[in-house]
């Protein structure tokens, strides 16, 4: 899979920008703040129907504008997919189209365009709350398992209903039991798939980390209440507590993933370089597993690649990504000379684009 054409209009700080691309490495060079990250975010939006940066689509509309539009053409073998994403502030209307056909459910689009993004913002996976790590694993699994996404959407809908009932004060035990039974079904399916996926990621993580950095021990540990008790009994036993709290305290929405580094949590003992290497290894593991499961090479987006990486680690990253198992790659950075040095050292061909004054110029 690769992106052949991109056009963004009034997206964040990008007024009007077009990009023609091919398979291989594309380096987008420019000063800080000119919008390099927003280009990658617009590509990400075409795959996930949402921004990686902003929680609200209103935040993605350029200041002074009323709407934004992103269009990309993706090619895979003999197929091509023209994806259009747009949002209007005045009507609050969000539109996603594939080959001019409008989706009624955005979830139907997830998985069509496999993309892996590596960004300095990923540090929130280490330093942030469990909800950030759940969002990561949910987004990853949803790219290759539509059944998982459907279970997740159904579970979240039931969870919201249960919480509304708990907030009302007067709880119908029979109705709650019916909801709990349905929730438990989805919860068990989600737990099983998450458990397997986290185990697979953990198995690849250590070897990829060793390729990038040194030989510290690193792994993922899945933390879930379902390790101790089955879903339905867990919900049933927590009902009295939940009535007092007025929210659901048991379930897979409380899951977390522990990032283990030398038998401690990496956020407590890891240096900035070790944390960045850990995250890169995690994302590369995600990339390789997506390719194994779907047979489609994902598009790799590397935002500000050299941030918190020394020259040696950066060289090892290039050793990893120059292999045949990687397809189209977009890299952003401020330093063309540094990227050019790595390209030349490996006799690697790449395409350089400079973003300046809102315009993208091929160098």
pLDDT in tens, the chain (363 residues): 999 999 999 999 999 999 999 988 899 999 988 999 999 999 999 999 999 999 899 999 999 999 999 999 999 999 999 999 999 999 999 999 999 999 999 999 999 999 999 999 999 999 999 999 999 999 999 999 999 999 999 999 999 999 999 998 788 889 999 999 999 999 999 999 999 999 999 999 999 999 998 778 999 999 999 999 999 999 999 999 999 999 999 999 999 999 999 999 999 999 998 999 999 999 999 999 999 999 999 999 999 877 777 878 888 888 888 766 788 999 998 877 777 777 776 666 678 899 998 889 888
User: Cβ distance 84 to 70 under 8 Å?
Assistant: yes
pTM over 0.85: yes
CATH code for residues 1-114+298-363: 3.40.50.300
Distance CA 276, CA 274 (A): 5
Instruction: Report pLDDT digits (tens) over 165-199.
Output: 999 878 888 999 999 999 999 999 999 999 999 99
Contacts of 311 (CB under 8 A, 6+ apart): none
> What are the start and end residues of each CATH 3.40.50.300 domain in the chain?
1-114+298-363
In this predicted structure, what is the pLDDT of residue 244?
94
Question: Beta strand pairing status for 79-88 and 115-118?
Answer: unpaired
Q: What is the reported pLDDT for 326?
A: 81
The predicted structure's pLDDT at residue 323: 67
**CATH 1.20.1050.90 occupies which residues in the chain?**
127-295
Q: What percent of the chain has pLDDT over 90?
A: 80
Per-residue pLDDT at 329: 92
Burial per residue of 285-306, b for 16 or more beta-carbon CB atoms within 10 angstroms, e otherwise: bbbbbbbeeeebbbbbbbbbbb
Q: Rounded to whole angstroms, how far apart are CA atoms 42 and 186?
A: 32
What is the per-residue pLDDT for 284? 94
CA-to-CA distance for 212 and 189, rounded, in angstroms?
34
What sign does the CA torsion over 40, 37, 288, 129 have?
Answer: negative
Identify the architecture of domain 127-295 in CATH.
Up-down Bundle (1.20)
Burial 121-148 (b: 16+ CB within 10 A, else e): bbbebbeeeeebbbebbbbbbbbbbeeb
Distance from C-alpha of 191 to C-alpha of 217, rounded to nearest angstrom: 26
Q: Are strands 79-88 and 93-98 parallel, antiparallel or unpaired?
A: antiparallel
What span, in angstroms and rounded, lies between the C-alpha atoms of 141 and 122?
Answer: 17
Q: How far apart are CA 49 and CA 52, in angstroms?
A: 10
Residues in the chain: 363
Cβ-count burial of 155 within 10 angstroms (0-12 exposed, 13-18 middle, 19+ buried)?
A: buried
Per residue in 50-81, pLDDT (tens digit) is 999 998 999 999 999 999 999 999 999 999 99
CB atoms within 10 A of CB 348: 13
């Amino acid at each position: 899979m690769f992106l052949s054409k991109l056009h963004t209009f009034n997206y964040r700080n990008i007024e009007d920008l077009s990009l023609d691309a091919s398979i291989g490495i594309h380096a987008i060079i420019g000063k800080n703040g000119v919008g390099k990250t927003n280009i990658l975010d617009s590509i990400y939006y075409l795959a996930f129907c949402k921004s990686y940066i902003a929680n609200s689509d209103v935040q993605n509309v350029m200041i002074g504008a009323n709407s934004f539009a992103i269009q990309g053409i993706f090619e895979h073998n003999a197929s091509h997919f023209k994806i259009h994403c747009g949002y209007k502030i005045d009507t609050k209307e969000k539109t996603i189209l594939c080959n001019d056909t409008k989706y009624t459910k955005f979830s139907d689009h997830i998985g069509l365009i496999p993309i892996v993004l590596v960004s300095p913002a990923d540090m929130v996976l280490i330093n942030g709350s469990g909800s950030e790590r759940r969002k990561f694993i949910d987004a990853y699994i949803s790219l290759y398992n539509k059944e998982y996404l459907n279970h997740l959407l159904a579970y979240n809908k039931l969870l919201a209903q249960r919480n509304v009932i708990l907030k009302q004060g007067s709880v119908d035990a029979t109705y709650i039991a019916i909801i709990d039974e349905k929730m438990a079904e989805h919860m068990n399916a989600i737990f099983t798939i998450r458990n397997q996926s986290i185990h697979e990621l953990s198995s690849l993580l250590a070897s990829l980390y060793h390729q990038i950095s040194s030989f510290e021990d690193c792994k993922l540990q899945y933390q879930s209440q379902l390790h101790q008790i089955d879903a339905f009994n867990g919900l049933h036993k927590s009902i009295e507590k939940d009535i007092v709290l007025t929210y659901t305290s048991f379930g897979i929405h409380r899951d977390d993933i522990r990032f283990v580094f030398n038998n401690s949590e990496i956020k407590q003992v890891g240096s900035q370089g070790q944390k960045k290497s850990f995250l890169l290894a995690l994302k590369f593991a995600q990339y390789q597993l997506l390719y194994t499961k779907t047979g489609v090479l994902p598009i790799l987006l590397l935002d500000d690649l050299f941030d918190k990486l020394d020259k040696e680690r950066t060289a090892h990253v290039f050793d990893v990504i120059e292999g045949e198992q990687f397809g189209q790659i977009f890299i952003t950075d401020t330093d063309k000379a540094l990227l050019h040095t790595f390209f030349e050292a490996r006799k690697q061909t790449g395409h350089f684009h400079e973003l300046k004054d809102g315009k993208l110029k091929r160098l």
